[in-house]
Chains A and B, each alone.
Chain A
Amino acid sequence: MARNNSWQEYQKDIADDKYFYVRSCIRQNFFPGSERVFLNILRNDLGLDVKEEAIHTSCTGIGYHSDIVPLETIMAVVARQFALMTEAGYENFISSCITSFGIYTEILETWHEFPETEERAREDLYKATGRVFNKPKNLAHTSDIIFHHREKIAQKAKFRLINSKTGEPLKVVDHIGCHYAKLFPKKGVGGSEFPYVIAGMVDSWGGDIIDYPERRHCCGFGFRNYLVKANRGSSVANSQKKFESMAPYKPDLIVGNCPGCSMFLDKWQYTIHEIEGVAYGENNRGIPTLTYEEMAGLVLGYNPWDMGMQMHQIDVEPLLDKMGVNYDPAEKYLGVNGEYIGRPEDASINTNCY
């Protein structure tokens, strides 16, 4: 009983429907289909109302965390995003990026603790744009939304996170990202100690979550750690620490919650292999790294190439084969209209020919 009561403290309220959606700045570059898959799942598979405004901007979080964008500026930018939501008649604000989610959470908390900063932001926004806004009734990250509807997705599942040949659950490593729950632990499902937002999806869809020692360790993005080239050795070392910690459990896939983390957990595997010749997956190859939307899309039977999974640094075919997903290898490098988009040179981590 005490345990159940305690666990309640780690839950968060997530709205059921009518979402105002804002995108990530960077993830469409390396996981280009994830956001479209998210919208398709919510609108077409679950029949939910999601509004997106083409005129919304970056939250400027990367600039803020790099000491380029001042606090007053980012507050005005966030106020404008909320104004767009208010003008569209929505109250539930959902963000596709962990950095942005952390920014929105931090600013709402700041406005709560220091109301004069909210007044200043309202004034700045009005003077600059003539807009006014209501604060969101509910703020969530898009993984919270998938988590919230995970059982409905499970009911529609065409594939499960199960090895189709052996019948064993796939072993999944999750990474929720520091700004999801380390800034404000009560704003994330499970807090930062008991990350459950992705683990909950994996539980519902048949996989096994690996609780490996460095599960809560930072991926190394850290903004300044990565943006300054000379610091990237520190950045990659963080991801390497995680890979070394997870490798003994022989994970079948990594699922990232945060755009930057997913990118690094995918691409640093290539970097480490090129520099040191080390790989952490089966047969001295990489571990496929997915976003949670891609994982949900595979479960629902979406075509992996329509989801942009050919853009992954680590090939996803070994995972697709395990899940029993049907795919056409010839379609991998075809664009939207069936036009050949070119095949990049094979990376040694994908061919095991280092």
Chain B
Amino acid sequence: MSWGYTINRARDIDMDRNDMTISKLILEKIPSLQGCIACGACVATCSTGALTKYSLRKVHTLVRRGEYSGLLDELNKCMLCGKCQLVCPRGINTRAVISLIKRELGDHR
């Protein structure tokens, strides 16, 4: 039967349903990530971000919420140049964070 519409998914963030396993594991391995203030300096300086919509701040936010869909493709845009690490005011090892997230999401290259 055609209804002429489908049921829209709610855009709310349901932390009870999201799988926080990888998120917790990343925080355990890189505790300094707790100190991120989401200032966006990493995005502002990002060479990839200048040419694409890649945003480490967005990736980080989604990972912390337990929302991993499509993140591996996003992270594969990163050239691991490390400029984000140089400008991070909290001194977070962002290259290690990116590599760890990729590994936990299944990229073992």
Contacts and interface: CB of A to CB of B under 8 A. Distances in A.
User: Which secondary structure dominates chain B's binding surface?
Assistant: loop
Contacts of A272: 7
Contacts of B10: 237, 241
A276 B7 contact: yes
A49 interface: no
B9 interface: yes
Contact of A229 (B1, B4, B7, B8): B4
A233 B5 contact: yes
A159 B9 CA distance: 40
A231 B4 CA distance: 10
Contacts of A276: 7
A232 B1 CA distance: 16
Interface in A250-300: 271-272, 274-276
A230 interface: yes
A271 B8 contact: no
B7 A236 contact: yes
Interface residues of A, number: 15
A236 B6 CA distance: 9
A240 interface: yes
Interface string A222-254: 000000011111101100110000000000000
Interface residues of B, number: 9
Contacts of A241: 10
Contacts of A237: 7-10
Interface in B1-35: 1, 3-10
B43 to A, nearest CB: 32
B8 A275 contact: no
B5 A230 contact: yes
A273 to B, nearest CB: 11
Contacts of B4: 229-230, 232
Nearest to A231: B5
Contacts of A232: 3-5
A271 to B, nearest CB: 7
A205 B33 CA distance: 55
A188 to B, nearest CB: 26
A233 B9 CA distance: 9
Find the residue from A231, A233, A271 having the highest chain B CB count within 10 A. Answer: A233
Q: What 4 pairs across the A-B complex have the smallest Cβ distances?
A: A233-B8, A237-B8, A233-B5, A232-B5
Interface of A: 229-234, 236-237, 240-241, 271-272, 274-276
Given A232-B4, A233-B5, A274-B1, 10 more contacts: A229-B5, A233-B6, A233-B7, A233-B8, A234-B8, A237-B10, A241-B10, A271-B3, A274-B3, A275-B7
